[in-house]
Amino acid sequence: MDKEVQKSQQIHLKTKYKIIFIAIIACLLMIYFIGFFYFNGKFLSHTTINNIDVSQLSINQVHKVLSDKIQNHSLNLTFIDKEKETLSIADCGIQYNEKNHLNDIYHQQNHWLWFMSFFQSENLVLDDIVTVDNQKLTTSIQSLKHLETDKQVAPVNAKIVYKDTKFSINKEKIGSTIDKDKLKEVIISAFSHGKSEVNVFNENGYVLPEITSKDKKLNNLLEASKKHANASITYQTISGDVVLDGNTIMSWLSIDESGQYYRDEKTFKENATKFVKGLAKKINNIGTSKTFTVANGRQVTVTGGNYGLKLKQSEEVEGLLKDISSSKHGIRKPVTSGVQASYSNNGLGDTYAEVDLTKQHIYFVKNGKVILESDCVTGKHTDPERRTPAGTYYLYFKQRDRVLRGTRLPNGEWPYETPVSYWMAFNVGIGFHDASWRHGKFGGNIYINNGSHGCVNLPPNVAKKLYENITTKTPVVVHY
């Protein structure tokens, strides 16, 4: 009997459990379908569209929420200088698009799994949430003060510089030039997502440098420059110093397919030759027009003569390449022909002899001071073959007790033979000398009809003093 009662109780208990289980399943199914029907036509819980909450809202309700969120909206733009400017959505020609694809993204959600939305979030993207009047948006952007021309400072790429005999990388600079197309995208996206604050720099709205200090090729160039271009060579010229240093030399390096820089001898020499050719334009000045400050601060312009320098280009290229290879730092004296006493005063310097053909007067200036001046007689002006030619020259040599002779005649005789005590030649057979036969008469208009054969005739005492002070290679300026 006890066993039958016990068995009956067990059957009753099992039946009870089955009923409870079925009841639970029924409740769950009822809840599931209630939820399913509740969410039918609605977006699931924890759903956002373009970061705007639309949880448990119908399509029509979402249209209204999105429209209200976007319309009458304003946007604060923060620029790189931390200043802000505000744009209204109306001024930008942006408005809510009633014909967007909201229905399509509604169907992206699996409403059969509506209950999962309570445990996870989902952000849907509506690409056509707004319409844009591009012309109006462009006008609105142009009205920003940060778009004014004087505020557009271009970005600066990182670059290698050579300073104080060292190579280094100057880091890039952002500048303040705004990428207008990118700014348009930023503004449209901000209004589309209901944002009220945007940092233009953080949204990449500025034109950025193309080369940064971390650029691999730039760093390869840095290492190659240290090895092959570490030189600083200065050339002195009458128009100022010409400096060739690592800033230029590194541009002579070549680069291979892997981005490694190296010194290609042929290319390197071609660049050195090009540099020297440009240097020659600053150095070559024999016979060119020159303007000098002469005695008593006067300015004269003289053309012609043999004074000056001429660069020997091929020899200079070879010397320059050797100096670069040895990492020379300092002044290099170029390989030249000719004579030039100074780099100041357009090459004339502050010690020189001056012959004023018009005033028939000479000056000798030493260290910037006139220490000797005198009237003179120059070549006979009415005879073109005897005129003293204008130009800038230099003293070839000086000699005591010389007999001056003209060009030997066909019969072997000399046209004249004139003994002088002081002879100072500066233009082939033309020079300064004493002329005692003039008996103290110099200057004025004597030279017009009774001038010399081209030389500069001086009183004996003047010739003596000039002889004692002038040295070979001293510049001689002859001008009208």
pLDDT value for 417: 84
Determine the angle formed by the axes of helices 134-142 and 180-192, rounding to 10 degrees. 110
For CA atoms 50, 55, 59, 62, the dihedral sign is: negative
| pLDDT tens string 292-341 | 999 999 999 999 999 999 999 999 999 999 999 999 999 999 999 999 99
What are the pLDDT digits (tens) for 43-77? Answer: 899 999 888 899 998 889 888 888 888 887 899 99
**Is residue 280's pLDDT more than 90?**
yes
Question: Checking DSSP bridges between strand 391-394 and strand 397-405, what pairing results, if any?
Answer: unpaired
Count Cβ neighbours within 10 Å for each residue of 412-434 and write b for 16 or more, e otherwise.
Answer: eeeeeebebebbbbbbeebbbbb
User: Buried (b) or exposed (e) across 369-400, using 16+ Cβ within 10 A?
Assistant: eeebbbbbbbbbbeeeebbbebbbbbbbebee
The whole-angstrom separation of Cα 159 and Cα 170 is: 5
Partners of residue 66 on adjacent β-strands: none
The answer to whether the beta carbons of residues 473 and 339 sit under 8 Å apart is yes
Using only C-alpha atoms, the chain has a radius of gyration, in whole angstroms, of 47
Average pLDDT over residues 214-220: 95
Give per-residue pLDDT as tens, 331-373.
999 999 999 999 999 999 999 999 999 999 999 999 999 999 9
Question: For tokens 């003093």, what's the residue?
Answer: 465
Domains and CATH numbers, the chain: 42-214 (no CATH), 230-291+304-338 (3.10.20.800), 350-479 (2.40.440.10)
Return the closest-CA partner of residue 242 out of 232, 252, 250, 251.
232
In the DSSP assignment, the letter for residue 443 is: S
Which backbone phi and psi does 101 adopt, to 5 degrees?
-100, 45
Taking the C-alpha atoms of residue 327 and residue 317, their distance in angstroms, rounded to an integer, is: 15
pLDDT at 6 over 90: no
State how far the Cα of 268 lies from the Cα of 250, in Å rounded to an integer.
Answer: 10
Total-model pTM: 0.71
Band (167; pLDDT cuts 50, 70, 90): very high
- Please tell me the predicted confidence (pLDDT) of residue 5: 63
Q: How confident is the model at residue 2 (pLDDT cuts 50, 70, 90)?
A: low
